[in-house]
Structure 1
C-alpha cells in the first residue's frame, strides 16, 4: 500500500506522543499523620491521589504509574506489587506485577483504574497493619531516601525496557539521555519515555538522611528526572533543594509559624483543594511544562546542609578540603576529619584577639583646656609659708 498511496506508514506509526512514567512517593509516617488529626487524614490523600493517577493514565494510554510508600523503617512498593518467589530472593531483582489479586468486578468502573485502586489500597492496608508499635518508638522518621532510591532504580529499568516513539532511539543509562537518527540522517529531539517523581511529604527534619538524599538528588539530576514536592506539613530543607536541583515544582501547603500557630488550622483549610493542586500543578509532564508557566516557589531556596558529625542543619560550618565533609564544630585537638582522616588545621580559630591598649596622648603647651579656655603656659607658683 505504500507504493499505491505514496505514504510511509512505518515512519508514521512510530511518531506519537511520548509515554510518561509518574512515580509517587507517599509519606506514610504514622507520627506525622497523627499530628494532623482529622483535618487531613491519610485516607483523603489516598483518594485524591487515585483521581490524580486516573487523570495521568487517561491522558495517554501508554502512560505508566508507580507508587512507593515511605514508612518508618522501610520503603515498600504499593503499586505495582512485587511478586516474590523463592528463586528471586537470592540477590536478584524482584519482579513487579500488577495482575494479582484482581479487583472486584464493577461494570461502572474502568478496569485499569479499578486494578490500581484495589492493589494500592490493599498493599497500604497491609503495610499499616503490619507496623509494630515498637518500630514507631525506635524510628520516628520516614525513609524518604530509600523510597527515592527505589523510584530511581525503577525509572531506569523501565526506560531501558520501554520502546520509544521512534524506531532508532536508544537510551543511554550513563547519561540519562536518548538520541536517534531519522530516515534522512538528521538528528531530532528524543521521543523516549519521560519520567518524573512526586513526593507527598508530611514529615519534618531529614537531617539523618543527608548523604543518601544528596546522592539520590544527583542521580535524578543526571537522569533528567524532575522531583516534584507537595509538602503538606513539616519543614524539610533537602526536599526543597531536590526540587530546585532537578527542575521540579515545590508547593508548600504547611502552615507558617507566625500565620497559624495551630498545625491543623491552616492545613485543614487547604485540604479541600488538594486535588486542585495536584491536577493544576503536577499533572503536566516534563514535555508539556516547557510551554507552561510553572507554579511553586522558585526563590528563597534554603541551601543549608547537615553536618557529618551530629547530623545538625548548620548555617556556618567547617569543611574538609579533601572530601568536602561538613562539621558543625572544630574536631578537637587532633583535628582529623571523621570521613577521610585528614588532619585539618583551623589556624587560630577560637583564640581571643589581642587588644592593644591605646596610648594616652600627652597634652602640649598652648592646647585648649577642658573648659574651652587656653591652657596657661606659666608654672604653678611655689607655696611660701
Structure 2
C-alpha cells in the first residue's frame, strides 16, 4: 500500500535498536564486533542519503536500555572527543566520525559499567520462559529489554516530531534482534506496537540469528514494517543496505521483502507462556492458558463451563426425552 503521507523532501528519522545481549551473541556465527562495524557502515549510508536525515541508536541490553547516540551529557561528549583526538583521519567525514565514536564509546561503557542482571536466577521462571520459547539458552542467560528500548524510541520520536512545526520529519524504527522472545515482556511490547501503529510509525525488524520472534513479527505486521530473517549473518551489511536503507517515500516504488506467514500467538497473563489456544476475558481482554472463574486482572466473575447450557434434557420419562428450558445459572459468588 502506497504511503501518501510522505514526500520526497521529507527528513527521515531512523531510530535503530541494537540487541546487545552478550549471552546470545557469544553463540552467534557473527561476532558482535563484526556486526557493529557493519551496522556503523549502514548508519553512515543513512546519513549520507540526505543532509537533514536524523538518527538515534539505542542499545537493548540485558535488563537495561541505553541511548548510544545522541548523547546529551556534555561531560561525556567532551570525554569521547578527547579520546578520539589522537585518531583523526583526513579521509573520514567528520559527522560520520562523531556518530561512530559515540556509538562505540557508549557500547564500551555499557559492557564495562552495567552490572548485567541474571534474569533467570529463579528456576521456576526459567522453566516457564524456556517452555514458552522455541530457543533453548543456558540458565545464566538474561533477556534483552526490547520493550524498554521500544518505549524509549517512541518517546524520542514524539519529542522530535513535536518540535517539527512543518511536519516534515518521517520517523521509523529498526530493531536488529538476536534474542528469543520473552513472554514476561508481552504486555509492554504490545502497548508499544499499538502506540506505533496509532502514530503511523513503521517498525522494521532484522532478525540476525536464532528462531523467529513472535512479538516482533507482529510488530512489523501491525505497523506495516518489514520483517526479515538473515540467512547469512556474515552478509548482514548487504541485507541492511538493500532492505532497510530506503526511506518511507522510496518504499512506495520498491518491491521489498514481505511476510508470507505471521505468528499471532500471544503470551498468557497467568504463567507468561506463549500459547496457541487460550481463554480471553470478555471485559479486559486478558489472556489465560487455563480457565479461571475469576479474571485475575479485572476481577470479573464468570460461570463454570458446562453449566451454562440453555437447554437440558429431562430424563424423568422412559420414552424419548423432551427438551426443557433451563435458566442460566448466576455467576459464582
Q: Same fold per TM (> 0.5)?
A: yes
Three-state SS of the structure 2 residue aligned to 1:101 is helix
2:21 is equivalent to residue 62 of structure 1: no
Distance 1:57-1:98 versus aligned 2 partners, 3 A rule: farther
**Unaligned residue ranges in structure 1 (runs of 5+):** 1-14, 86-96, 165-170, 172-191, 254-266, 357-385
TM-score of the superposed pair, with normalisation by structure 1: 0.68
Distance 1:16-1:245 versus aligned 2 partners, 3 A rule: closer
**Unaligned residue ranges in structure 2 (runs of 5+):** 1-6, 122-140, 308-312, 316-333
- The equivalences for 1:238-257 within 5 A come to 238-253=215-230
1:316-360 Cα shifts (integer Å, max 9, x gaps): 1111110010100022xxx110100001224218xxxx9x9xxxx
The counterpart of 2:98, out of the listed 115, 122, 125, is 115
Distance across 1 between alignment mates of 2:9 and 2:78: 26
Verify the 8 A CA contact 1:79 1:98 in the aligned structure 2.
Answer: no
Verify the 8 A CA contact 1:206 1:236 in the aligned structure 2.
Answer: no
Q: Which has the larger radius of gyration?
A: 1
Q: Which residue of 1 aligns with 2:153?
A: 151
Distance across 1 between alignment mates of 2:284 and 2:74: 40
Distance across 2 between alignment mates of 1:34 and 1:345: 50
Q: Identify which of structures 1 and 2 has the higher relative contact order when contacts are C-alpha pairs closer than 8 Å and 6+ apart.
A: 2
- The equivalences for 1:84-163 within 5 A come to 101-102=80-81, 103-104=84-85, 105-132=88-115, 135=118, 138=121, 140-163=142-165
Indicate the RMSD between aligned Cα atoms, in angstroms: 2.4
Distance across 1 between alignment mates of 2:263 and 2:118: 31
Distance 1:275-1:306 versus aligned 2 partners, 3 A rule: same
The counterpart of 2:301, out of the listed 331, 339, 343, is 343
Q: Which residue of 1 aligns with 2:319?
A: none
Q: Which residue of 1 aligns with 2:38?
A: 48
Distance across 2 between alignment mates of 1:98 and 1:289: 35
Distance across 2 between alignment mates of 1:155 and 1:224: 11
Distance across 1 between alignment mates of 2:114 and 2:280: 40
Distance 1:99-1:53 versus aligned 2 partners, 3 A rule: farther
Distance 1:73-1:44 versus aligned 2 partners, 3 A rule: same
Distance across 2 between alignment mates of 1:274 and 1:16: 27
Q: Which residue of 2 aligns with 1:372?
A: none
Q: Which residue of 2 aligns with 1:314?
A: 275
1:18-67 Cα shifts (integer Å, max 9, x gaps): 1100100000111111221xx20111111111111111111100001100
- The CA deviation at 1:82 is 3.5
Distance across 1 between alignment mates of 2:64 and 2:248: 29
